[in-house]
Chains A and B, each alone.
Chain A
Amino acid sequence: MRIAVYGKGGIGKSTVSANLSAALSALGERVLQIGCDPKHDSTRLLHHGQKVTTVLDYILNTPEEDQKPEDVLMKGYMNCGCIEAGGPRPGKGCAGRGILTSFEFLNRHDVFSGYSTIVYDVLGDVVCGGFAVPVRKQYAQAVYLVTSGEAMSVYAANNILHGIRNLDPEGRRIAGIIYNSRGAGDERERVFAFAKAAGLPVVLSLPRSGAFLSAERNARTLVETDRNLPESRLFLEFAEKLKKGVPLYPASPLSEEEMELFMQGKPLKSLSGNTGKEAGGPAEVQRSEDGSVTGKRRQAGSGTAEPYRIPQKRALSDPFSRVPLFGCAFRGAVDLAVHLKDAAVLAHAPKSCTWYAVNGLSSYGRRGLFDRGILYPAFIPQRFSATDINIKDAVFGGVEHARQKALELAKSGVKNIIAVTACIPGLSGDDLQPVKEELRQYGTCMYIIHTDGVEAGDYNEGMALCYKTLAEEAVKPAAAPDPDAINIVYEQTFSSETDENFAAVKEILSSLGIRVNCRFLCASSVREVEGFLNAPYSILAREDRLGLELKRLFEQRYGCRFAKGVFPEGFRQTADFVRQLGRLYDRTEPAEKLVENSRKEYDRILTELRSTFSGMKTMIFLSREYAWLEELAEDLQLDIVCASIPRNKEALNAEWNHRFSKQWALDRDTFAQKAAELKPALVLTGDLSVIPDPPEGTAVIAVKRSIGKGFFSAAEESRKWTKLLGRQLKGRWRNDRSVFEKYYT
């Protein structure tokens, strides 16, 4: 027989469990009692207050190869086995996970097999999955609920019924209610009424008695103290019944509304759909949905179950409200942190997350090496350390583990550590702040990025946290202001074009005598970040929600000034960009000269390209605007015969339409039809699938979301198109799709 005793904290579960174990032992049963409460006092009355080694403490402090079950198994009254699962320190780790871990240990060492009866004494309420472990099928068969008539105790009992119904919706797992009197008013009636409403028997009624207290003072059960006491006899009689076997009942909790009515002493029939019987008749109570997905509800009187409806009340339950989180915040933060060359990254995470993150970022390094023969150091991190959190860290908290790793780094001379935390430290509540303080004595600064996995959100949120943490904590007051310096903020960190784009912008800046002070955060260093305020202006490399947030942070916190716009594409944008820098840095004349010289070169390139493109019948299908393309289309003198660009009509008329006076086809099908009809030489599109089978002689060219930067970037982009014009070869391989289907599907 395997029994679990549940009930509200302080209701007397341990006293009941211990006396029950003692009674069963006295009747010749081989009993093992397992306390499943971090405060580990369940078996005290059985083993007379011996020093307890809890399973979790033992696992924590003993190498696996040295672990023996007898080290956690105490012998109590009549050889009754006593085990305390234990738990993490209050407020730390995950106690539920701790219970699971303890049970895995006990299973692994086959502790259960030597006993005929197992009694689980479980923490007050089913607060998380871990505390449900003892009622899983493989452990306890029968559940007793200990309750008094006090409101909170009855609520807790009802909540436990909910939990058990969720675990085993169709099973009969409840053996009944043990009423432990507190001697308050009409509590007996209330307990019996609740039992009736829940369809359960009251199997044992324990009077309020000083005898319990007196025995407890001697660290003894009443059964051991004096078997002839009336209270002891109650336990012994109950144990006799248990030995013979007990009927089990389904868990049929009252709904919240029913509980409220019940506690107010009102009849339950007022609930909609009620069959009209008063509280106390469990078969008659019509129950409402309670929010549990796995449950089945018992129909009045029938005992059969109907499929449970997924509740609609919680927004989270609505699959259509569930916008996918793209990627993981931990990874986003790690991917950005590796860009600081003079810092070590400390991943406070399990190996799974570390491996996943390192491989994610190293994939860019590998690809760069293979595709272009370039090794990007940032993507092959040289100073990357990980705590490789294990289950002990998860249960007991992993701060010490992180501390050791951080100290190792500090002692090896690392001056800056970016610590990034994953889901598990977030769930366990690991606080690395004391470690940060301790590291100061080694002259090492730690920046903690609390991504805590999904708690922070998705990949972008992780990046945002890393950006913001460093912007807020690493930037120092300007020590050496440099009027000729500029910062670049928010470059794309994972793009094969980042280096080229930076080089193009740097060339423009250099020609104006401006030096790059800090790239925040791309191939940068903590030292550069610290000196961010030395530059009078900054440029935002690209603009999106996060980029704007960062800009605002620098403006509001440090009074930073940003140049208008982002890295420029095409001639017009670049000319504006250069003139702006000229004004900001008091270099108007060199800026104008640069624009003028570049104009000449641009005109030369365009003249050459127009010999190919001028008057070319062109169709355009885009899902967004491209300012450089508008300019380029005009400069190349393309003949735009049809375009589909999602903008408001006024804007289209104001810009594109007045230039080309063309037809507007706004849906894919119409666009494809038009292409078949108009047979353009060139189709420019952001989505190649819009014309899967282009007409003979039509070149379909993908318009890149982002092109190079600077005066000639758009013109150079169109130079690439020239190679794609003319006849498109298809190849006979396309005819073999059926063969593929034959062998591979």
Chain B
Amino acid sequence: MTDLYLRSTTPDYITGAVYACDGVRDSVVLINGPLGCKFFYGFSAGKCTPRASDLWNIRGELGVSNSLSDSLLRSQYFTGSPHIPATNLRYEDFIFGTAEQLNRALQDILSLHRWAFVTVIQAPGTSLLGEALEPELEKISQEAGVPFLYIETPELSANMDIGYDRTVVSILKKLREQENDRCFGKESAGKCRKDAGGSERRPSVNLFGLHRYRRHTEGDTEEIRRLLDLCGVDVHCAVCTDCSVEELLRIEEADANILFEPECCAETAKYLKANSSLPLINVGYLPVGPDLTELFVRKVCTVLETDCQKALADIEQTRARIYYHLARWTGGRGLPQDVCYTAEGEASMLYAFADYLTGYLGLKPGALQVNYRECPENGFEKLAGLLSVNGCEDALQKDIVSVNNAILFGSANTIAHVMLCNNNVFGIETMCPSSGFIDVVPKTYLGCRGALFLLEQVINGIRLLKAWEG
């Protein structure tokens, strides 16, 4: 039943769409639907990065409890949570149409704050109505002077990566329509590395695919930024992760676009190929572990013609530290072979983890559950190839629950589910939803810091598993 369970606990298209829009600072996402459709997105969104508190933006308050007695509770659109409002539709609206209520909700929301971008997403039920809401939205958008994105048909049962990918493209298209001259199509964009004073400036890149559903988005972005900085490269815009509309409008001022996993970047890649003059660095994986991190920095530096020596030195130090801890703890024998790891995630993500955990650390994979295989492009073949090279192909698509004595990488849902069936598991959260652990210090599984953090978790996890065995 694990597969079925995973299918029900992996996020949907709307989550992807919401997270893509939510990665734009000062933007608001309005669900055109009943309040029931907003609650989960409202409570879960925005927890992975400490962006400027939306509650603060809206009401000047830090906690929901502060506002419950005040306007937040009185607002029929935000009811109970300060994030991702909904139009508060009722069944009758499904018959008579939703335009009136949508209008009211937007007027209310626009009066609260000066938003830089507004997205209206049809809830599943509302999308069935086929209403023509564009004229109304266009009118309000013009009156408010704010770009509006309207997602009329969220795929009812597609997954989050598809929703994220398509919505990123929609946002880029929308902004392109909005301010064509500033956004795309400048032949010279990104090619001149001279600043206003005539001196050479550092090259910069746009990052695509670091979505906020990953467990440590803030730390991930920081680590990529740090590694690129060592390569003499700046991050111009972390697209739909934590960026402003202004940054999005100027993405062509960067020198290259970096895309990570194909599952959530395939459509974006196609769009950028057709509409951007910048070179595309299609990485195809997340830089997990020293080897993939080294490949990543070399690739970027080759395209941008910068020096990667500082980054390589940093990676070398990471390798040394990994060696020291592994050699010391295992007496030079390597990780115990009676412990394995299991994992769920996109094929590309699993590929990156397997490359580090199996290829580099020598930890056996017990079961790898690939999610989102329906994505038009995914790293399944690559993952299968990697496992085959290491003689571990039997781990692919094996039921996670059937494997005991394992380090499990997954969401807290999966970890709880496996623990219910199996008492010798150490869970490491790689994606949302989390168990509720509050990360005050930003963490990451990417790059050098991520390699060390993962090793720390793996070593201590194995120790705990052994302790339980005893």
Give the docked Cα–Cα distance between A366 and B124 (Å).
Answer: 27
Give the docked Cα–Cα distance between A350 and B155 (Å).
Answer: 9
Give the docked Cα–Cα distance between A328 and B79 (Å).
Answer: 13
In the complex, the answer to whether B10 meets A355 with C-beta atoms within 8 Å is yes
Residues of A within 8 A of B66 (CB): 689
Residues of B within 8 A of A360 (CB): 39-40
Given A322-B88, A325-B36, A745-B53: A352 and B13 interface contact (C-beta under 8 Å) = yes
In the complex, the answer to whether B157 meets A350 with C-beta atoms within 8 Å is yes
Taking the closest CB of chain B, its distance from the CB of A451, in whole angstroms, is 10
**B153 CB–A CB distance under 8 Å:** yes
Give the docked Cα–Cα distance between A541 and B5 (Å).
Answer: 32
Give the docked Cα–Cα distance between A314 and B92 (Å).
Answer: 11
- Interface stretch, picked from A2-10, A379-387, A643-651, is A379-387
**A697 CB–B CB distance under 8 Å:** no
**A367 CB–B CB distance under 8 Å:** yes
In the complex, the answer to whether A352 meets B130 with C-beta atoms within 8 Å is no
Residues of B within 8 A of A336 (CB): none
In the complex, the answer to whether A689 meets B69 with C-beta atoms within 8 Å is yes
In the complex, the answer to whether A367 meets B99 with C-beta atoms within 8 Å is no
B134 partner, pick from A104, A136, A353, beta carbons under 8 A: A136
Give the docked Cα–Cα distance between A293 and B102 (Å).
Answer: 10
> Quick one: closest A residue to B412, CB to CB?
A366
In the complex, the answer to whether B156 meets A394 with C-beta atoms within 8 Å is yes
> Quick one: closest A residue to B159, CB to CB?
A351
CB under 8 Å from chain B, chain A span 346-383: 347, 350-356, 358-360, 362-363, 365-367, 369-371, 375, 377, 380-383
**A94 CB–B CB distance under 8 Å:** yes
> Quick one: closest A residue to B79, CB to CB?
A324
- Interface stretch, picked from B231-239, B342-350, B415-423, is B415-423
**B132 CB–A CB distance under 8 Å:** yes
**B284 CB–A CB distance under 8 Å:** no
Residues of A within 8 A of B79 (CB): 324, 326
Given A362-B9, A366-B416: A97 and B128 interface contact (C-beta under 8 Å) = yes
**A427 CB–B CB distance under 8 Å:** yes
Given A128-B130, A168-B135, A350-B156: A745 and B57 interface contact (C-beta under 8 Å) = yes
CB under 8 Å from chain B, chain A span 272-316: 293-294, 310, 314, 316
In the complex, the answer to whether B154 meets A352 with C-beta atoms within 8 Å is yes
B36 partner, pick from A319, A329, A383, A389, beta carbons under 8 A: A329
CB under 8 Å from chain A, chain B span 96-139: 96-97, 99-101, 103-104, 123-125, 128-132, 134-136
Give the docked Cα–Cα distance between A168 and B132 (Å).
Answer: 9
B413 partner, pick from A100, A325, A366, A687, beta carbons under 8 A: A366
CB under 8 Å from chain A, chain B span 451-469: none
Which residue of B88, B104, B128, B434 has the most chain A CB atoms within 10 A of its CB atom?
A: B128
A454 partner, pick from B36, B128, B159, beta carbons under 8 A: B36
**A96 CB–B CB distance under 8 Å:** yes
Residues of A within 8 A of B53 (CB): 744-745
In the complex, the answer to whether B132 meets A369 with C-beta atoms within 8 Å is no
**A62 CB–B CB distance under 8 Å:** no
Q: Chain B, 424-438, contact with A by CB distance < 8 Å: what is the 0/1 string?
A: 000000000111110
Residues of B within 8 A of A132 (CB): 130-132
Residues of A within 8 A of B44 (CB): 359
Taking the closest CB of chain B, its distance from the CB of A129, in whole angstroms, is 4
Taking the closest CB of chain A, its distance from the CB of B451, in whole angstroms, is 26
Residues of A within 8 A of B12 (CB): 350-352, 355-356
Total interface residues on A, CB under 8 Å, equals 81
Give the docked Cα–Cα distance between A353 and B39 (Å).
Answer: 11
In the complex, the answer to whether B97 meets A129 with C-beta atoms within 8 Å is yes
In the complex, the answer to whether A389 meets B34 with C-beta atoms within 8 Å is no
Residues of A within 8 A of B125 (CB): 422-424, 426-427, 453-454
Give the docked Cα–Cα distance between A720 and B343 (Å).
Answer: 42
Given A385-B4, A427-B125, A454-B94: A327 and B13 interface contact (C-beta under 8 Å) = no
Residues of A within 8 A of B13 (CB): 351-352
In the complex, the answer to whether A377 meets B420 with C-beta atoms within 8 Å is yes
Residues of B within 8 A of A166 (CB): 99
Residues of A within 8 A of B251 (CB): none
**A390 CB–B CB distance under 8 Å:** yes
CB under 8 Å from chain B, chain A span 99-121: 99-100, 104
Given A326-B80, A369-B419: A316 and B156 interface contact (C-beta under 8 Å) = no
B129 partner, pick from A128, A370, A428, beta carbons under 8 A: A128
Give the docked Cα–Cα distance between A721 and B462 (Å).
Answer: 41
Taking the closest CB of chain A, its distance from the CB of B40, in whole angstroms, is 5
Total interface residues on B, CB under 8 Å, equals 74
Given A310-B100, A327-B36, A384-B8: A375 and B419 interface contact (C-beta under 8 Å) = yes
Q: Chain A, 455-489, contact with B by CB distance < 8 Å: what is the 0/1 string?
A: 10011000000000000000000000000000000
A316 partner, pick from B35, B92, B134, beta carbons under 8 A: B92
Residues of A within 8 A of B35 (CB): 324-328, 458
In the complex, the answer to whether B130 meets A370 with C-beta atoms within 8 Å is no
Given A96-B129, A427-B125: A359 and B413 interface contact (C-beta under 8 Å) = yes
Residues of A within 8 A of B197 (CB): none
B135 partner, pick from A294, A384, A423, beta carbons under 8 A: A294
**A224 CB–B CB distance under 8 Å:** no
Which residue of B39, B124, B159, B433 has the most chain A CB atoms within 10 A of its CB atom?
A: B124
Residues of A within 8 A of B135 (CB): 167-169, 294
In the complex, the answer to whether B100 meets A453 with C-beta atoms within 8 Å is no
**A214 CB–B CB distance under 8 Å:** no
Give the docked Cα–Cα distance between A330 and B33 (Å).
Answer: 14
CB under 8 Å from chain B, chain A span 157-191: 166-169
CB under 8 Å from chain A, chain B span 25-62: 34-37, 39-40, 44, 50, 52-53, 56-57
In the complex, the answer to whether B433 meets A363 with C-beta atoms within 8 Å is yes
B156 partner, pick from A325, A329, A385, A391, beta carbons under 8 A: A391
**B11 CB–A CB distance under 8 Å:** yes
A352 partner, pick from B96, B101, B156, B420, beta carbons under 8 A: B156
**A122 CB–B CB distance under 8 Å:** no
**B280 CB–A CB distance under 8 Å:** no
Given A168-B135, A356-B40, A394-B156: A382 and B433 interface contact (C-beta under 8 Å) = no
**B14 CB–A CB distance under 8 Å:** yes
Taking the closest CB of chain A, its distance from the CB of B102, in whole angstroms, is 9
Give the docked Cα–Cα distance between A358 and B130 (Å).
Answer: 28
Residues of A within 8 A of B132 (CB): 129, 132-133, 136, 167
Taking the closest CB of chain B, its distance from the CB of A394, in whole angstroms, is 6
In the complex, the answer to whether A382 meets B36 with C-beta atoms within 8 Å is no
Q: Chain B, 335-357, contact with A by CB distance < 8 Å: what is the 0/1 string?
A: 00000000000000000000000
In the complex, the answer to whether B416 meets A316 with C-beta atoms within 8 Å is no
Give the docked Cα–Cα distance between A128 and B1 (Å).
Answer: 41
In the complex, the answer to whether A351 meets B128 with C-beta atoms within 8 Å is no
**A130 CB–B CB distance under 8 Å:** yes
In the complex, the answer to whether B436 meets A371 with C-beta atoms within 8 Å is yes
In the complex, the answer to whether B435 meets A322 with C-beta atoms within 8 Å is no
**B90 CB–A CB distance under 8 Å:** yes
In the complex, the answer to whether A454 meets B34 with C-beta atoms within 8 Å is yes
Give the docked Cα–Cα distance between A136 and B433 (Å).
Answer: 40
In the complex, the answer to whether A324 meets B76 with C-beta atoms within 8 Å is yes
- Shortest beta-carbon contacts, A-B, top 8: A328-B36, A423-B125, A130-B130, A129-B131, A350-B156, A351-B157, A370-B435, A129-B130
A and B contact pairs by CB, cutoff 8 A, 18 listed: A168-B135, A327-B35, A328-B36, A331-B36, A351-B12, A359-B44, A362-B433, A380-B420, A384-B5, A385-B4, A388-B156, A389-B157, A427-B94, A427-B128, A453-B34, A455-B94, A458-B36, A744-B53
List residues of A whose CB falls within 8 A of some B CB. Answer: 94, 96-97, 99-100, 104, 128-130, 132-133, 136-137, 166-169, 293-294, 310, 314, 316-317, 319, 322, 324-331, 347, 350-356, 358-360, 362-363, 365-367, 369-371, 375, 377, 380-386, 388-391, 394, 422-424, 426-428, 453-455, 458-459, 687, 689, 744-745
Give me 9 other A-B pairs in contact (C-beta within 8 A), A325-B35, A366-B413, A367-B436 excluded: A100-B130, A294-B99, A322-B101, A351-B158, A352-B37, A355-B10, A362-B9, A367-B435, A453-B36
